Chain A
């Protein structure tokens, strides 16, 4: 060998040390054929995958499922003057979705780029001109937020003054308010919505729509005959993934859907609605001097003020319906927006108080079964406040099932007839999703490409929708505002709100009366 090397050296030095002879050039370019083979193989792989993907997608008729890539500007029209009724934590988020942020640090946060997503919101051309809140501290915060001069989407401040109203009745009587956002505890929702509709104010109301039957029916009739735009606060359907899920279901990829399982699992004190202590364990602010307790109670039984009741009202049936009202409402809305299941024929709830044995009335473990015999469908809601195991939300069909959360996975059924061919060929496998969509993709990868392969094989995945992350609540409120200006019916309209209201009241009645209850569709009542 050495001998040969020496020979080479001699050859090269004969041609002059720096002269590039043929052999030297070949040695220098030895990587070229490797790169050539690499490129060729890469080309082969890419075209193979494209062909596979497109033929599979074509077969499923899913070539064009995609979400809107850009945010539409808000409809043109006059300034809408909004009154906020109730200004707790949720109202702060709603104000932000309307385009109002507390001015403190906003300029700095904009400069740092922290608010890019917010700034990308559409300018809704609204002004928050009224705040109604029983707690002085929160009312003050509301006034400051409403008076903020920063606007997303290139909007300009209206310059209108912001007024604090002593009661919602006073606000509803004011002709300078066009629309109200209701973010009070649940026991006020129906009453305020009804009176707002009668006063001709458009209503955006947080869930639940109502927690008593008589109020729900009155709400429905009043809104139906009023001509106002009513939007129930379930922003979930504005998630792009939901629109894609709807496409997939409409294309009948899942086959016949007979079972839907929705769940809630939480395992924290805050998740169990113990929220009256700050992070140091001291009671949060508020007393009878700063809180209008009588107004807070409304028409509910008079009880002495307690910081526990004020912050943790969810624990008592006087003020809401516990997990059914706070959490299942979102689940029901998600399913109802997807499948239009409507009001069930029967509901059966069981559960109890097994873990958070404080002074609460609401159960911390609850299971509701809703039957839809005409649709050949059962909807289950199962909730637990003492385990954070994620059980997801699953729609089960005889050909495939769909797990739907922030992302979406469709997994073929082992015994599917429709996909039997592909299952036999191994094109798809029941052990991994055949289709997955993750708009905020956190696809896993490492340098050992097996993990990449592992996730790649899970099927097709589309990227986030558009370039920006958008607050779905903004989209939901924008829909409401657009409907006020341009007509039309928003997704969370009074029909959907009524269906949801009846469904949760059926489940609640079943829990309290420990029996199966029925919906009498003819006489429109729960029996």
Chain B
């Protein structure tokens, strides 16, 4: 069996990024879980550009909104845990990319779009959400879950 296609340095760097993003997404999920007042309504109501119609539809119906809130909270927690533990890493990473891109496209920092919530930095087209999604793409194409992670036991190499 070939244990790793990466050098130790490469492996360490990749796993470190996986842990960091996992930590961040897990905390975003846990935070929402612990804030009974939290709802994605505020974020969605800010939505502009291509996702705004979709966002409006979600807000317009309380039941859909609560489903979205639930999926968002538990999705973030599941993805975070998946990245940290290296459990079903491929699915977690892919879901993370999809979720982050949805956040990005809901409120992209494009020229001419203005939001009532101040951003915590200054952005032109590229923001941290997009960079985090890109980092997950790296994690996806350089998988580490089966080397450092529980996937090691699940996807045993023949």
Contact = CB atoms under 8 A, between A and B. Distances in A.
A67 to B, nearest CB: 14
Contacts of A462: 37
B85 A31 contact: yes
A225 interface: no
Interface stretch (A13-21, A78-86, A122-130, A283-291): A13-21
Determine the interface band of chain A, counting residues with CB < 8 A from chain B.
35 or more
A9 B84 contact: no
Nearest to A469: B62
A443 B63 contact: no
Contacts of B100: 447
Interface in A17-66: 17-18, 20, 24, 27-32, 34-35, 38, 42, 46
A224 B27 CA distance: 61
Interface stretch (A153-161, A186-194, A362-370, A450-458): A450-458
Contacts of A452: 28, 31
B117 to A, nearest CB: 5
A20 B157 CA distance: 12
A13 B41 CA distance: 54
Contacts of B25: 447
Interface string B14-34: 010001001111111011101
Name the residue in A38, A42, A438, A449 with the highest tally of chain B Cβ atoms < 10 Å from its Cβ.
A38
A18 B19 CA distance: 26
Interface string B66-102: 0000000000000001001111000000000001100
A450 B8 CA distance: 34
A28 B152 contact: yes
Contacts of B4: 5, 8
B42 A443 contact: yes
Nearest to A453: B120
A35 B84 contact: yes
Contacts of A451: 43, 117-120
Contacts of A446: 43, 103, 107, 117, 129
Contacts of B84: 31, 34-35, 38
B7 interface: yes
B52 interface: no
A9 B31 CA distance: 41
Contact of B23 (A17, A18, A30, A38): A38
B51 interface: no
A2 interface: yes
A495 B90 CA distance: 70
B103 to A, nearest CB: 5
A438 B117 contact: no
Interface of A: 1-2, 4-5, 8-9, 12-13, 17-18, 20, 24, 27-32, 34-35, 38, 42, 46, 113, 438, 441-454, 461-464
11 contacts: A8-B4, A28-B86, A28-B153, A31-B85, A444-B117, A445-B32, A446-B107, A446-B117, A447-B132, A448-B129, A451-B43
